[in-house]
Structure 1
Amino acid sequence: MNIQNQKCVMIIDENLPLGIIANTAAILGITLGKKLPEVVGQDVWDGSGQAHLGIIEFPVPVLQSSVKEIREIRKTLYTEDFQDILTVDFSDLAQHCKTYYEFVKKMEKTCETQLRYIGLALCGEKKKVNALTGRMSLLR
């Protein structure tokens, strides 16, 4: 991965309660880390000699959006021009499940059009990610 030409962002429903926003960002980040382990830097040591696990080597802005706009972006990501963007999606269906097994079983019975996406993480060519998210504000 060429870090200079790549960009990762998270897009989260701005109307969610703070705890759900935090949980959504955590879930998206963990999955990004699994899919892109090469962007996590080496462990570091502070001046006292204490070790700290490596973190991602570049910023990941967290952007605010509406559920409607998140759905539209997700729809665009299915098109040929954007299929190369690594996409992690998180839905209210997933957020309400207590176990991964429950999530898998519910997803098997749910059409994609029924999903209500509450968060996305995108990572790919900077120009493409900016085309989808460049007008969005940081989540504050």
Structure 2
Amino acid sequence: MNDSYCIFEIIYNTMQQSHNTMSIKTLCAIAGVSRSGYYAWLNAAPARAQREQQDREDFEQILAYKMHGYSKGAKGIYIALLHMDPPVVINLKKIRHLMDKFNLSCPYRGPNPYRRMAKAIKTSSVADNLLQRELKHMVHGSSC
């Protein structure tokens, strides 16, 4: 997360300790954050918990990730969810957000190295003149 989130958490944990004699004002001044920011963070805790719960529920639905035996990317998951019965509609950006959050990744296949090698070999080869054709070379603007 960001730095202030960690600082606010440290202040909160310090205040929960029984042997703490410092006030919130002092702790915020030492940490270099505002008291209003700390209290805003404290009041937003239920909303954060609810968002986290919603993310976990959505992630359970996204585990169609391993559907059909192989991993899918964000677009594949989106399409798989749309084809479920009943269809599940989750925004593509949210799917990407959840994949980042829960370290879900889809392996990149990449090009076939054998096909690439065959293409590279083909471009430099010249075919034999089996028909024995005598082709005329055209000079720009005139014919021979």
State whether TM-score is above 0.5: no
TM range (shorter): under 0.3
| Structure 1 or 2: more strand by fraction | 1
Larger Rg: 2
TM-score by length of 1: 0.19
TM-score by length of 2: 0.18
| Structure 1 or 2: more helix by fraction | 2
Greater RCO structure (CA 8 Å; 6+ sep): 1
